[in-house]
Structure 1
Amino acid sequence: MKTVRFLGMTLLMVLCAVNFTACDNDDEVTLDLNSLEGTWILVNSKGWETSSTGSGEKREWNVTFNPDNFTGGNPDDAIGGSQRVIIEKISENKYSFIYGEYTGYDWYQEPMKIAHINGQNIIFENDIYNTSIEYLNNDKLVVKNSYSQGYFSTEYTNTYIKR
């Protein structure tokens, strides 16, 4: 009887040891940056921002765009027409980003921004936003942006498809 009890307790201890072994879930996502270069069209922007007046008012949005019709959007939303970004590699982990917005008949292009990519983080030169790549493959790019200073805070995620 003592042998059965000893074996039972041993088995119980082994099961407890196996159940309390944790998996390391903090692994950094490895991105294939070869997929990053190209022209990306915004298909969804979802996020929120707080009022800069200090009222604490929080405005949320979730806007979807048709990648074949760039005039979508709503003037009451955070974004009017569709947006695009053209990304080109300059050197190892250094890229140029040219953002643009469709104005109804043509693309308005902002000046080029230079960024270094460190893991999932996109570090733009002279920029105040925290930007990271949440997902990247040959056809889809998901970028998260956040910023907070004083009364104003914002966080949004933009989803792009490659064209």
Structure 2
Amino acid sequence: MKTLRLIGMAVIAVIMSVNFIACSDDDDTIDTSSLEGTWGLVRSAGWELCSDETEKDTWDYTNDPYNPDYDSEKIVIKKLTDNTYSITAYYYNAGTKVWQTGGSQTGVLDGKTIVLKDYDGWFEYANPIIETLTTDKLVLRMKYDNVQTDPDYDPEHRHSGDFTETYTKIK
């Protein structure tokens, strides 16, 4: 009986040690092998607030990237160097039924954050944080608070926001 109890305790010890090893804290790194490609927006949800407004602008909408309409967007991510990527955003012009460039930027991957180097029409106020990255799903989160947006226009004009963009790989 003592032998069975000793074996049982050994099995429990092995299981516990495997569980502790499996739960290591790797939250700051991601596998970037799936990052390159064309990603179609499937869901956008969150809020933004302009200092000229008193209420948050909230939204939660979905898209079918294979049947684009007026809310459709996509991004194309290309690896330039070891940790540097170009990101080009497109929006669908429902009138002409053509994808049009919405802006292009270069970003350096720092852990899960894409630190943008240029601002040309895409995520101007925040560096996107990669919340999920698999071979077919990319979730980016933008969060910013009280950001000065145009000092030449009005130095007191500020923006805040917190939203996620969920993409599926279409190429």
Shorter-chain TM-score tier: 0.7 to 0.9
TM-score by length of 1: 0.74
Aligned amino acid, residue 56 of structure 2: K
Stretches of structure 2 lacking an aligned partner (at least 5 in a row): 1-22, 120-124, 148-157
Partner of 1:11: none
- Alignment partner for residue 98 of structure 1, among 73, 88, 95? 88
Stretches of structure 1 lacking an aligned partner (at least 5 in a row): 1-23, 72-79
Partner of 2:100: 108
1:123 is paired with a residue whose SS is: strand
Partner of 1:129: 126
Ranges of 4+ aligned residues in structure 1 off by more than 6 Å: none
- Cα deviation, residue 146, structure 1: 1.6
Larger Rg: 1
Which piece of structure 1 moves more, 106-115 or 126-135? 126-135
- Cα deviation, residue 44, structure 1: 0.1
Cα root mean square deviation, aligned: 2.2
> Are residue 89 (structure 1) and residue 79 (structure 2) matched?
yes
1:54 touches 1:152 (CA, 8 Å); kept in 2? no
Partner of 2:52: 53
- Cα deviation, residue 149, structure 1: 2.1
Q: Distance in 2 between matches of 1:160 and 1:59?
A: 22
1:112 is paired with a residue whose SS is: strand
- Cα deviation, residue 91, structure 1: 0.5
Identity, % of aligned pairs? 36
Partner of 2:145: 148
Q: Distance in 2 between matches of 1:132 and 1:29?
A: 11
2:41 touches 2:166 (CA, 8 Å); kept in 1? yes
Partner of 2:38: 39
Q: Distance in 2 between matches of 1:157 and 1:25?
A: 26
Q: Distance in 2 between matches of 1:50 and 1:111?
A: 22
- Cα deviation, residue 27, structure 1: 4.1
Per-residue CA deviation, residues 107-126 of structure 1 (Å, 9 max, x unaligned), is: 11134210000110000014
> Are residue 161 (structure 1) and residue 159 (structure 2) matched?
no
1:34 is paired with a residue whose SS is: helix
- Cα deviation, residue 26, structure 1: 5.5
1:83 touches 1:100 (CA, 8 Å); kept in 2? yes
Q: Distance in 2 between matches of 1:64 and 1:42?
A: 8
Q: Distance in 1 between matches of 2:33 and 2:24?
A: 25
- Cα deviation, residue 81, structure 1: 1.9
Aligned amino acid, residue 52 of structure 2: T
